[in-house]
């Protein structure tokens, strides 16, 4: 941001002086560099945001035109304001650096911000998955009820996948439920020493 601010300030002062030399009043000359370099900043951000959209051609057009106007105007100002012993090509080249740096830094900052946002979204997904996996297992009564509902839905012609979506369980769970007759003990159940079925 410091580099972008310095590039903007150098370009701003040159374009403001050029606007004043071109007949724009001193109280309004500051607006011209804001318009020219402001298009570069806004169009650069729009190009990054709309990278996958068909409408990206428009910000690209604004970016190219704005950068061309800014670089050309800075070069013209340098030629007019440079000392007589400084070659015009050298003065124009030096003056073209600030608007080009402003363009590059703004584009780079937008890319980095978008990359950081993507990484933040990606790192948040495993946390949600972990909290889901740590949810308590359903109780025995819930499993018995689920087996009964699954058997009823299967009798109505539902597929295991449809039953799983309806009951909010994995299709393999439905398959285990339906592989055992409804009145029989669940395969995970074991008889306790007292003869009762325990998990």
Q: What's phi and psi for 76, nearest 5 deg?
A: -60, -45
Q: Is pTM beyond 0.75 here?
A: no
What was the pLDDT predicted at 129? 45
Of 115, 128, 107, 146, nearest in space to 4 by CA: 107
**Sign of the CA dihedral running 189, 191, 193, 194:** positive
What was the pLDDT predicted at 82? 82
What was the pLDDT predicted at 87? 87
Q: How far apart are CA 20 and CA 81, in angstroms?
A: 13
Over the stretch 20-72, which tens digit does the pLDDT of each residue have?
889 989 889 999 999 998 888 898 888 888 877 888 899 889 989 999 999 99
What was the pLDDT predicted at 140? 62
What was the pLDDT predicted at 128? 46
Q: How far apart are CA 6 and CA 11, in angstroms?
A: 9
In the predicted model, residues of the chain with pLDDT beneath 50 are 127-135, 189-199
Spatial contact of 78 and 17, defined as CB atoms under 8 Å apart = no
């Amino acid at each position: 941001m410091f580099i972008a601010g310095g590039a903007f300030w150098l370009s701003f002062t040159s374009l403001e002086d050029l606007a004043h030399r071109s007949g724009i009043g001193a109280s309004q000359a500051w607006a011209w560099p804001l318009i020219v370099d402001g298009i570069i900043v806004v169009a650069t951000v729009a190009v990054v945001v709309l990278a996958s959209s068909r409408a990206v051609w428009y910000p690209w057009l604004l970016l190219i035109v704005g950068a061309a106007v800014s670089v050309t105007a800075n070069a013209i100002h340098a030629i007019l304001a440079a000392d007589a012993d400084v070659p015009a090509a050298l003065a124009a080249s030096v003056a073209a650096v600030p608007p080009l740096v402003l363009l590059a830094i703004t584009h780079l900052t937008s890319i980095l911000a978008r990359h950081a946002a993507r990484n933040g979204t990606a790192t948040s997904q495993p946390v949600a998955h972990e909290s889901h996996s740590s949810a308590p297992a359903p109780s025995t009564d819930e499993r018995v009820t689920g087996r009964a509902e699954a058997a009823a839905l299967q009798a109505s012609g539902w597929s295991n996948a449809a039953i799983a979506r309806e009951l909010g369980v994995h299709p393999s769970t439905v398959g285990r439920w339906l592989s055992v007759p409804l009145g029989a003990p669940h395969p995970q159940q074991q008889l306790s020493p007292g003869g009762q079925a325990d998990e």
